[in-house]
């Protein structure tokens, strides 16, 4: 991902947008940034000075100065063969790092900390190997290369076999996997250098040539691993190929009469390679998610950018939910709550924009947002930009004949989203993005002010942009920094609740439109779009207003003391890796009464929301927590909320959710009924449907049938429904 500085034009535009009462805080932010930049410049100057000093000392060294070297026995291979061996060794070492890292992030998220830990182990091993080289020099060089091969095999065999009880930590996987091979790699480089410089009067040219060969080989090895080995062979077979590469190095570093025994030892080690262990590693990565919902892995793709496992949860023999697991992280899903917030990225701008013709989607995910955008009949072109061929390749299996990527209006671009914004022309009426989580290494540049500026510049006048804000993945100061960055790029920024933990930022470029109620509600009248919107819990257009959290002025009071996240200060993102922790200060934003008050006081709402719909949205703020996913998985625990929904609203979707069903399951039941008729297996979901339709008598009978067949919550729901089916006076005492 490229790192770009904000353009002067954007800088000037920001200065004009600042209100007078905001100048002092922002001056403090600039002072802080200048101090941080000054520290960075000082560090860079210190590093440059030390480099200059090292160069001066090297130049001052007499050309013929003797340098201590490890003695090399006579009769060794020619320098060309040794240089070739150094290049191959460098390629094998860097390729191993790529494969190792891909294996280990099956056990830990790909954060900066994770990569720093793994890189530290590799560098530590190389350093130890260099220090041990004088002792290893007693061995023929061929045995050191064979030892490297055996270390790769043994490391893969032992990785994960932790001592003691409990779940192994990442370090327990990484130590046996990486450290022995890294040590031998460091020793091998040192010993090859000793062989090359043994007979030289001046060893410096030999060392330079050796380093060049090793570095070039390393660069080619990393590319080979990422672009060829992983996508074609996968993690396990790539490790075997690299172990075999080390096993063949004796052909370059030993005389023919001395290589037979090392080659036999290496072949014996390769015969013991533990093929099949990758299944254990993949299963360990998927297990936490399988335990959540009983899903199963239906496809594994080991591609150039990620290891993707596609999980499917079935209901009555059909797919009810999908989950895309990238390495060890659930990147995206198709489920009732995921569909809700991912499709809201589209519903919000589509409802507000007067004529959405061109849309840009950065990060395809599971295709939920693409489906929602394509529900708009006016849309002529949807450009989908994603860097992951593995994610895009899963779409046909997940969606079948309804695959959004098969829509003729879709233009697919396999590219980094930020690079696309900077290098491709054209403007869009709607831009939306749900990038990878901010805790993943390298993703921070998709949340900075410079990036949001690039998004704003690609909007057509009057265009709208939506963006994902997964608040629990930030510490509060990180979320404030991201919101500050977004609002710097979009002065009319607003914040919306797609779910309890997944919020949506909305901003426009010269957006002045205020749609009529007729235009705003058009998708709820469209035969194709209306069922999809309703399934996400937005059964009426007025409910969209109840997802409002704050506008620019209200947000400014929250973030103003926090500097914006920028390319130059990426650590301000403050990611939080405890993803399921308490909501903390975020809970205040979700309180229905406070959100309703902010909606009524909002200048943005007064200027852009249809006046006739604004008042009608107010009662639905009370229901919003349930639609945000704030309910228990046990339907019996949800009975108080279920009763309130049934008594005070005519909504259907919250009833389905609270009772443990959803629209997808109801559609599956319809198909099963058409194919094979009624079965007691369908009694419970049909009872939930009857309850949502306020047909209490039918619901009571169906729940009673389900209870006789062992469905746990059916008995309590049967009693409730039968009670509600009696006279109105009696029904008041049902709960």
Closest CA to 90 of 22, 189, 5: 189
How many Å apart are CA 471 and CA 498, to the nearest integer? Answer: 11
Over residues 313-319, mean pLDDT: 94
Q: Are residues 465 and 566 in the same domain?
A: yes
pLDDT of residue 73: 45
Of residues 314 and 59, the one with the higher pLDDT is 314
pLDDT of residue 170: 85
Q: Are residues 150 and 215 in the same domain?
A: yes
Report yes or no on 50 lying in a domain: no
Complete DSSP assignment for 120-140: HHHHHHHHHHHHHHHHHTTS-
Of all residues in the chain, what percent carry a pLDDT higher than 70? 85
| Whether pLDDT at 414 is above 50 | yes
| Whether pLDDT at 199 is above 60 | no
Report yes or no on 22 lying in a domain: no
CA angle 330, 333, 338 (to 5 degrees): 115
Q: Are residues 415 and 356 in the same domain?
A: yes
Report yes or no on 390 lying in a domain: yes
| Whether pLDDT at 296 is above 80 | yes
The answer to whether 545 touches 420, Cβ cutoff 8 Å, is no
How many Å apart are CA 537 and CA 663, to the nearest integer? Answer: 10
CATH classification of the domain holding 113: 1.20.1250.20
Centroid of chain to Cα 645: 35
Query: Tens of pLDDT along 36-89?
Result: 333 444 444 444 444 444 444 444 445 444 433 444 444 556 788 889 999 999
CATH classification of the domain holding 502: 3.40.50.150
Q: Are residues 588 and 664 in the same domain?
A: no
Domain end marker among 329, 361, 395: 329
Q: Are residues 410 and 481 in the same domain?
A: yes
| Whether pLDDT at 637 is above 80 | yes
Over residues 332-354, mean pLDDT: 94
What is the enclosing helix (H) or strand (E) of 162?
Answer: none
The answer to whether 551 touches 506, Cβ cutoff 8 Å, is no
Over residues 510-535, mean pLDDT: 94
Q: Are residues 244 and 368 in the same domain?
A: no
How many Å apart are CA 615 and CA 608, to the nearest integer? Answer: 14
Over residues 693-714, mean pLDDT: 94
Q: 560: exposed, middle or buried (C-beta count within 10 Å: 0-12, 13-18, 19+)?
A: middle
| Whether pLDDT at 12 is above 70 | no
Report yes or no on 63 lying in a domain: no
How many Å apart are CA 144 and CA 421, to the nearest integer? Answer: 49
How many Å apart are CA 314 and CA 334, to the nearest integer? Answer: 12
Report yes or no on 24 lying in a domain: no
Per-residue pLDDT band for 425 (boundaries 50, 70, 90) equals confident
| Whether pLDDT at 350 is above 90 | yes
Q: Which residue range(s) make up the domain with 690? A: 639-731
Q: Are residues 468 and 396 in the same domain?
A: yes
Closest CA to 484 of 111, 25, 35, 37: 25
Q: Which of 10-14, 57-61, 254-258, 341-345 has the highest mean pLDDT?
A: 341-345
| Whether pLDDT at 576 is above 80 | no
- Phi, psi for 443 (deg, rounded to 5): -85, -15
What is the enclosing helix (H) or strand (E) of 323?
Answer: strand 318-326
How many Å apart are CA 698 and CA 713, to the nearest integer? Answer: 17
Per-residue pLDDT band for 438 (boundaries 50, 70, 90) equals confident
Tell me how crowded residue 308 is: count the other CB atoms within 10 A of its CB. 21
Number of domains in the chain: 4
Of residues 397 and 22, the one with the higher pLDDT is 397
The answer to whether 262 touches 140, Cβ cutoff 8 Å, is yes
| Whether pLDDT at 390 is above 50 | yes
pLDDT of residue 19: 38
Domain end marker among 329, 361, 396: 329
The answer to whether 375 touches 344, Cβ cutoff 8 Å, is no
Per-residue pLDDT band for 22 (boundaries 50, 70, 90) equals very low
pLDDT of residue 730: 55
Quickly tell me which residue has 């007064």 as its tokens: 606
Tokens standing for residue 490: 């979009």
Q: Are residues 312 and 345 in the same domain?
A: no
Per-residue pLDDT band for 7 (boundaries 50, 70, 90) equals very low
| Whether pLDDT at 509 is above 50 | yes
Closest CA to 507 of 479, 488, 482: 488
Q: Which of 67-71, 181-185, 526-530, 726-730 has the highest mean pLDDT?
A: 181-185
Query: Tens of pLDDT along 536-571?
Result: 999 999 999 999 999 999 999 999 989 999 999 999
Q: Are residues 90 and 166 in the same domain?
A: yes
Of all residues in the chain, what percent carry a pLDDT higher than 90? 72
Q: Which residues contact 89 (CB under 8 A, 6 or more apart)?
A: 145, 148, 185, 188, 189, 192, 214, 217, 246, 249
Q: Are residues 211 and 236 in the same domain?
A: yes
The answer to whether 386 touches 363, Cβ cutoff 8 Å, is yes
Tell me how crowded residue 231 is: count the other CB atoms within 10 A of its CB. 16
Of residues 5 and 218, the one with the higher pLDDT is 218
Per-residue pLDDT band for 728 (boundaries 50, 70, 90) equals low
Per-residue pLDDT band for 255 (boundaries 50, 70, 90) equals confident
Of residues 449 and 169, the one with the higher pLDDT is 449
pLDDT of residue 256: 83
pLDDT of residue 26: 37
How many Å apart are CA 501 and CA 628, to the nearest integer? Answer: 8
Report yes or no on 4 lying in a domain: no
| Whether pLDDT at 116 is above 50 | yes
Q: Are residues 254 and 204 in the same domain?
A: yes
Q: Among 39-43, 307-311, 379-383, which is the least confidently predicted range?
A: 39-43
Mean pLDDT of the chain: 87
Report yes or no on 456 lying in a domain: yes
Report yes or no on 68 lying in a domain: no
Q: Are residues 324 and 339 in the same domain?
A: no
Tokens standing for residue 496: 């919306």
Domain end marker among 247, 272, 297: 272
């Amino acid at each position: 991902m490229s790192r770009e500085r904000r353009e002067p034009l954007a800088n000037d535009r920001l200065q004009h947008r600042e209100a007078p009462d905001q100048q002092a805080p922002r001056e403090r932010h600039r002072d802080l940034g200048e101090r941080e930049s000054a520290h960075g410049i000082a560090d860079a100057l210190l590093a440059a000075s030390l480099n200059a000093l090292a160069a001066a000392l090297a130049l001052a060294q007499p050309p013929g100065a003797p340098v201590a070297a490890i003695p090399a026995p006579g009769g060794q291979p020619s320098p060309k063969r040794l240089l070739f061996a150094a290049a191959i060794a460098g390629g094998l070492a860097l390729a191993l790092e790529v494969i190792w890292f891909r294996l280990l992030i099956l056990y830990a998220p790909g954060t900066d900390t994770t990569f720093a830990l793994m890189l530290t182990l590799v560098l530590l091993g190389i350093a130890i190997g260099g220090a041990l080289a004088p002792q290893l020099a007693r061995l023929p060089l061929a045995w050191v290369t064979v030892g490297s091969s055996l270390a790769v095999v043994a490391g893969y065999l032992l990785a994960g076999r932790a001592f003691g009880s409990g779940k192994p930590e990442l370090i327990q996987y990484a130590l046996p996997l990486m450290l022995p091979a890294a040590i031998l790699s460091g020793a091998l480089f040192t010993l090859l250098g000793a062989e090359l410089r043994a007979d030289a009067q001046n060893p410096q040219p030999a060392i330079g040539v050796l380093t060049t060969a090793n570095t070039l080989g390393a660069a080619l090895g990393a590319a080979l691993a990422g672009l060829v080995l992983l996508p074609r062979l996968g993690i396990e077979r790539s490790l075997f190929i690299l172990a075999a590469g080390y096993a063949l190095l004796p052909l370059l570093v030993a005389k023919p009469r001395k290589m037979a025994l090392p080659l036999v030892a290496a072949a014996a080690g390769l015969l013991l390679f533990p093929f099949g262990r990758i299944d254990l590693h993949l299963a360990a990565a998927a297990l936490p998610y399988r335990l959540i919902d009983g899903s199963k892995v239906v496809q594994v793709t080991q591609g150039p950018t990620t290891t993707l496992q596609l999980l499917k949860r079935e209901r009555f023999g059909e797919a009810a939910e999908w989950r895309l697991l990238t390495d060890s992280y659930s990147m995206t899903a198709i489920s009732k709550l995921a569909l809700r917030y991912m499709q809201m990225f589209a519903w919000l701008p589509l409802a507000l924009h007067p004529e959405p013709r061109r849309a840009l989607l950065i990060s395809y995910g599971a295709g939920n947002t693409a489906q929602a955008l394509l529900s708009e009949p006016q849309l002529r072109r949807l450009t989908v930009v994603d860097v992951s061929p593995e994610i895009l390749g899963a779409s046909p299996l997940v969606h079948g004949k309804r695959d959004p990527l098969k829509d003729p209006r879709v233009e697919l671009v396999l590219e980094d989203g930020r690079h696309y914004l900077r290098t491709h022309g054209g403007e869009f009426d709607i831009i939306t993005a749900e990038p990878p989580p901010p805790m993943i290494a390298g993703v921070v540049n998709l949340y900075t002010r410079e990036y949001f500026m690039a998004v704003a510049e690609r909007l057509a006048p009057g265009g709208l942009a939506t963006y994902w804000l997964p608040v629990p993945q930030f510490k509060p100061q990180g979320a404030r920094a991201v919101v500050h960055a977004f609002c710097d790029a979009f002065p009319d920024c607003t914040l919306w609740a797609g779910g309890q933990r997944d919020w949506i930022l909305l901003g426009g470029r010269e957006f002045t439109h205020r749609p009529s109620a007729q235009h705003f509600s058009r998708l709820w009248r469209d035969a194709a779009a209306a069922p999809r919107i309703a399934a996400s819990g937005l059964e009426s257009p007025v409910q969209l207003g109840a997802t409002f959290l704050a506008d620019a002025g209200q947000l400014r009071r929250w973030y103003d003391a926090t500097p914006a996240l920028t390319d130059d200060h990426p650590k301000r993102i403050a990611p939080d890796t405890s993803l399921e922790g308490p909501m903390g200060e975020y809970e205040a934003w979700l309180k229905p009464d406070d959100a309703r008050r902010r909606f009524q006081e909002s200048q943005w709402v007064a200027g852009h929301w249809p006046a006739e719909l604004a008042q009608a949205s107010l009662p639905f703020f009370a229901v919003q927590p349930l639609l945000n996913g704030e309910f228990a998985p046990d339907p019996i625990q949800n009975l108080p909320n279920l009763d309130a929904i049934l008594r005070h609203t005519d909504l259907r979707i919250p009833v389905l959710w609270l009772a443990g069903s959803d629209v997808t399951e109801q559609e599956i039941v319809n198909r099963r009924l058409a194919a094979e008729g009624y079965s007691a297996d369908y009694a419970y979901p049909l009872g939930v449907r009857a309850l949502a339709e306020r047909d209490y008598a039918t619901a009571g009978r169906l729940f009673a049938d389900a209870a006789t067949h062992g469905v746990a919550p059916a008995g309590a729901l049967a009693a409730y429904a039968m009670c509600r089916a009696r006279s109105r006076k009696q029904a008041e005492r049902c709960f």
